[in-house]
Amino acid sequence: MIEILEETTKEPISLMGRRAGVCWGADIADAERNYKRGLECIRSGHHRVMEYVNVEMILDGYSARVIREWYTHIGGAPTRLQASTRYINYKDFSYVVPPAVAKNPEAEKLYRAAMETIARTCASLEGECGVPREDAAMLLPLGMSTRIVDKRNVRNLIEMSHQRLCTRAYWEYRELMGDICTALGAYSEEWRYLVENFFRPKCDVSGYCTEKKSCGRKPGSPQV
């Protein structure tokens, strides 16, 4: 469901170290020191260097609804392309079935019947009524699965993990974030380290829960 494209920086920590080293007059030919410097920058909160690390990936099979939430992460001017709803054949679109629906046979029957009704109606509007596909597509549900090609920097992605690994986040987004962690962690050793140590829910960063309705994993925020 997640494909990390080859344009993604292979050695993100070393790259950060090299970029910082230029400004510090350091020897950027020394690989070990570059790595250490990159790590120091992250640990010290000098997060501007994270913006040099590129991540390009294909997200496929997630709902249009979760992708709508994905689009709220705008820090660092990310960009993306999304599958068109005008030209693709959506008469037999695929869709996500939430676990709460899948575990209840009656609910699943109703859910699938509603999706089939939408698909049938789209086909009739287009076929029998001559409505253009782009207009019939107004009926398509947020649960429909879609595909995007996404490009952003790692600072944005780490910020995103703080919000979206939180138990308050929408379940599909938490799964999507987990899938991204798995895919990036497998991309290189440096990525594995970044994912294991810096992709965390926000309560792990602040030491307390900032949400009004807490899951109880950490104590609530201090009164201000």
Ligand X SMILES: Cc1cc2nc3c(=O)[nH]c(=O)nc-3n(C[C@H](O)[C@H](O)[C@H](O)COP(=O)(O)OP(=O)(O)OC[C@H]3O[C@@H](n4cnc5c(N)ncnc54)[C@H](O)[C@@H]3O)c2cc1C
Identity of the residue, 75 or 207, whose beta carbon is nearer to ligand X in the bound complex: 75
**Candidates 46-54, 70-78, 93-101, 183-191; binding stretch for ligand X (CB under 6 A):** 70-78
Residue 58 three-state SS: strand
Q: Single out the residue of 169, 181, 184, 209 in contact with ligand X (rule: CB under 6 A).
A: 169
Distance CA 195, CA 185 (A): 6
Q: Does 168 help bind ligand X (rule: CB under 6 A)?
A: yes
Report which residue's Cβ sits closest to ligand X. 75
Tokens for 198, please give them: 């810096």
Q: Single out the residue of 11, 126, 159, 190 in contact with ligand X (rule: CB under 6 A).
A: 159
Distance CA 55, CA 10 (A): 9
Q: Does 156 help bind ligand X (rule: CB under 6 A)?
A: yes
Residues 6+ apart with CB under 8 A from 180: 2, 57, 157
Identity of the residue, 96 or 169, whose beta carbon is nearer to ligand X in the bound complex: 169
Q: Does 163 help bind ligand X (rule: CB under 6 A)?
A: yes
User: C-beta of 130: minimal distance to ligand X in Å?
Assistant: 37
Count of Cβ atoms closer than 10 Å to residue 129 Cβ: 10
Identity of the residue, 30 or 211, whose beta carbon is nearer to ligand X in the bound complex: 211
DSSP of 143-184, one letter per residue?
TBEEEEEEEEEHHHHHHHHHHHSSTTS-HHHHHHHHHHHHHH
User: C-beta of 163: minimal distance to ligand X in Å?
Assistant: 4
- Residue 130, sorted as left (phi over 0), alpha (psi -120 to 50) or beta, turns out to be left
The footprint of ligand X on residues 94-153 (CB under 6 A) is none
Distance CA 200, CA 143 (A): 27
Strand partners, 79: 151
How many residues touch ligand X (CB under 6 A)?
A: 10
The residue behind tokens 């309560």 is 203
**Candidates 82-90, 160-168, 176-184, 186-194; binding stretch for ligand X (CB under 6 A):** 160-168
**Candidates 34-42, 73-81, 136-144, 174-182; binding stretch for ligand X (CB under 6 A):** 73-81
Residues near ligand X (CB under 6 A): 72-75, 156, 159, 163, 166, 168-169
